[in-house]
Amino acid sequence: MQSTITGKAYVLGDNIDTDQIIPAQYLTYNPSIPEEYKQFGKYALSSVPPSQAGLPKGHVPFHTKDEFVSDYTIVIGGKNFGCGSSREHAPIALDAAGIKAVVAEFYARIFYRNSVNGGYIIPFETPDRLCEKICTGDDLKIDVAAGTLHNLTTGETWQLSPLGEVAPIIDAGGLFPYARKVGMLKV
């Protein structure tokens, strides 16, 4: 696991569902094929309503048409991030788009577990309503060990909730690498 994550923020609101993160018509791509994995990044967050994209600034595109990787590295969400279907492709799409972490007030449990189990992104939780305090494009730094989020643009800092029992799984790169590491699976 990286000790720090830096990059630009992309801010969303509440109830961002898995259909908005990766629309169903793009589920025909196979994430185990590298060329097709990239396609998930191209269509990540393509169905987020304009009223939700780039809060509080208003509509800001996640990436320009035909780009596979976004200029943003950290997604800031509100409540219930990743709700909806149990689409395991949602954290894959964010990973393929270059997202390293999502910081939200709380997650739909299946999205949270898919993020951790696959080792795709780090899902941080926060007691603060950061989607109303951070702007899309702000430069951020997450100190993973300290559990802090620094807004390098404004100078503000917030404490994140501890990763707890999922930290070793994230550190290993996902559930299967973790299971191999601790001897639960034979290499």
- Read off the pLDDT of residues 65-92 as tens digits, 9 standing for 90 and up: 788 999 999 999 999 999 988 788 999 9
pLDDT digits (tens, 9 = 90+) for 140-170: 999 999 999 999 999 999 999 999 999 999 9
Neighbour tally for 157: CB within 10 Å: 13
- With a pLDDT cut of 90, the percent of the chain lying above it is 82
- Measured between alpha carbons, how far is 138 from 11 in angstroms, rounded to an integer? 9
Please answer whether residues 130 and 151 qualify as being in contact, where contact means their C-beta atoms are separated by less than 8 angstroms: no
pLDDT in tens, 107-139: 999 999 999 999 999 999 999 999 999 999 999
- State whether the Cα torsion 91-94-98-102 is positive or negative: negative
Structural domains for the chain? 4-161 (3.20.19.10)
**Sheet bearing 4-11, strands edge to edge:** 122-125, 101-104, 72-76, 4-11, 139-143, 148-151, 157-159
| Nearest partner of 170 among 121, 137, 133, judged by Cα | 121
Q: Is 8 helix (H, G, I), strand (E, B) or coil?
A: strand
Identify the pLDDT of residue 22: 95
Indicate the range of 52-56, 68-72, 173-177 predicted with least confidence: 52-56
Give the whole-angstrom CA distance, residue 85 versus residue 16.
Answer: 11
> What integer pLDDT is reported at residue 168 of this predicted model?
95
- Residue 98 confidence (pLDDT) above 90: yes
Judge whether residue 55 has pLDDT over 70: no
pTM of the model: 0.93
3-class SS at 35? Answer: helix
Say what the pLDDT of residue 59 is. 73
Amino acid 63: pLDDT: 85
